[in-house]
């Protein structure tokens, strides 16, 4: 029988926070916090939360995730993505001196890599230099955590989506309803990840008392163009779209954004699957599951 745990989650209003609450195991007491109830950039608030709740684990799902906006707002991106994880780690380290054995799970991103190789990124290999403010600050957050807590658990993910919040899948559905055709980038490659897969993976890694760096995404490889085509096909099959529109592949150069994206973001998940004792689902299966949930939610709205 799995031992009871208390887990404090930051960023509870985000996509991952939503799915963590939906999939919370029966043996876990979950304390969900957001920026209104816990400012992770405030050391006093962090220490107070640890003393009050005395969690076994803290899952830091809070992040500055507006990749393009971060380029013009680096101060806030660094404060939330780099400084706050270090504050959390320091507060947990201090709490341990008083007998509280809290562990930290820091959620990170494929953007910590420079995207310049063509084989899946391993958890322990050098990241290279991230190509934007978002990736740079997330990598700094990882480094701050690992410097303070040698047993920290860091889980990198990529291309996240859910029925909750704003994401690529929901944006594509909206545009496919409103536009006569779409152009979608074909020269960026990664692995789409349903936040439900990530949430279940985090619960599994916690139950196995994992430590170190792990990767989590759904299996398989796709470009954003491939992903968009699949979204339209699955949505048509489920009746979420009434008719198909042309979707054409374009280059990144044809769709300039303030922040560059890694060209190759596929991550090696074999270590994660070995610890969990199971294979992560293919991204197309997870996409279908998410769209089915979206259809049910729409029907009940």
CATH (domain of 273): 3.40.50.720
pLDDT value at position 98?
93
Angle between helices 15-22 and 195-207 (to 10 degrees): 60
Instruction: State the residue range of the domain holding 53.
Output: 5-166+193-219+268-281
The answer to the question of residue 28 being in a domain is: yes
pLDDT value at position 57?
98
Characterize the bridge pairing of strands 222-223 and 189-190: antiparallel
The answer to the question of residue 15 being in a domain is: yes
The answer to the question of residue 181 being in a domain is: no
Q: State the CB neighbour count (10 A cutoff) for residue 128.
A: 16
pLDDT value at position 301?
65
* pLDDT < 50: residue spans in the chain: none
Domain count, the chain: 1
The answer to the question of residue 241 being in a domain is: no
Contacts of 277 (CB under 8 A, 6+ apart): none
| Distance of alpha carbon 173 from alpha carbon 259, whole angstroms | 23
Residue-level length of the chain = 301
pLDDT value at position 1?
61
Positions annotated as catalytic residues are 134
The answer to the question of residue 184 being in a domain is: no
| Distance of alpha carbon 190 from alpha carbon 275, whole angstroms | 23
The answer to the question of residue 83 being in a domain is: yes
pLDDT value at position 248?
97
The answer to the question of residue 87 being in a domain is: yes
The answer to the question of residue 173 being in a domain is: no
pLDDT value at position 2?
75
Q: Tell me phi and psi for residue 235, to 5 degrees.
A: -70, -35
59-108 tens-digit pLDDT? 999 999 999 999 999 999 999 999 999 999 999 999 999 999 999 999 99
Q: What is the pTM of this model?
A: 0.97
């Amino acid at each position: 029988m799995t031992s009871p745990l208390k887990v404090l989650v930051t960023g509870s209003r985000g996509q991952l926070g939503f799915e963590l609450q939906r999939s919370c195991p029966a043996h876990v007491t979950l304390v969900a916090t957001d920026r209104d109830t816990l400012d992770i950039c405030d050391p006093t608030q962090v220490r107070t939360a640890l003393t009050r709740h005395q969690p076994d684990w803290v899952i830091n799902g809070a992040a500055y995730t507006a990749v393009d906006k971060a380029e013009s707002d680096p101060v806030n991106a660094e404060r939330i993505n780099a400084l706050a994880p270090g504050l959390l780690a320091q507060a947990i380290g201090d709490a341990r001196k008083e007998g509280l054995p809290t562990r930290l799970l820091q959620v990170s991103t494929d953007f910590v890599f420079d995207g310049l190789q063509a084989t899946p990124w391993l958890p322990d290999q050098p990241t290279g230099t991230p190509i934007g403010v978002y990736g740079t600050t997330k990598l700094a957050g990882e480094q701050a955590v690992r410097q303070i807590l040698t047993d920290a658990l860091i889980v990198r993910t990529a291309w996240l989506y859910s029925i909750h919040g704003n994401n690529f899948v929901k944006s594509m559905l909206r545009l496919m309803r409103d536009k006569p055709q779409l152009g979608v980038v074909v020269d960026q490659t990664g692995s789409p990840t349903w936040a439900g897969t990530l949430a279940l993976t985090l619960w599994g890694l916690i139950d196995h008392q994992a430590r170190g760096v792990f990767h989590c995404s759904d299996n398989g490889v796709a470009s954003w163009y491939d992903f968009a085509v699949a979204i339209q096909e699955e949505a048509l099959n489920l009746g979420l779209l009434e008719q198909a529109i042309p979707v054409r592949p374009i280059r990144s150069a044809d769709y300039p954004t303030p922040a560059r994206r890694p060209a190759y973001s596929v991550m090696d998940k074999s270590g994660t699957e070995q610890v969990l004792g199971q294979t992560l689902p293919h991204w197309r299966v997870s996409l279908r599951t998410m769209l089915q949930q979206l259809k049910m939610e729409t029907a009940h709205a």
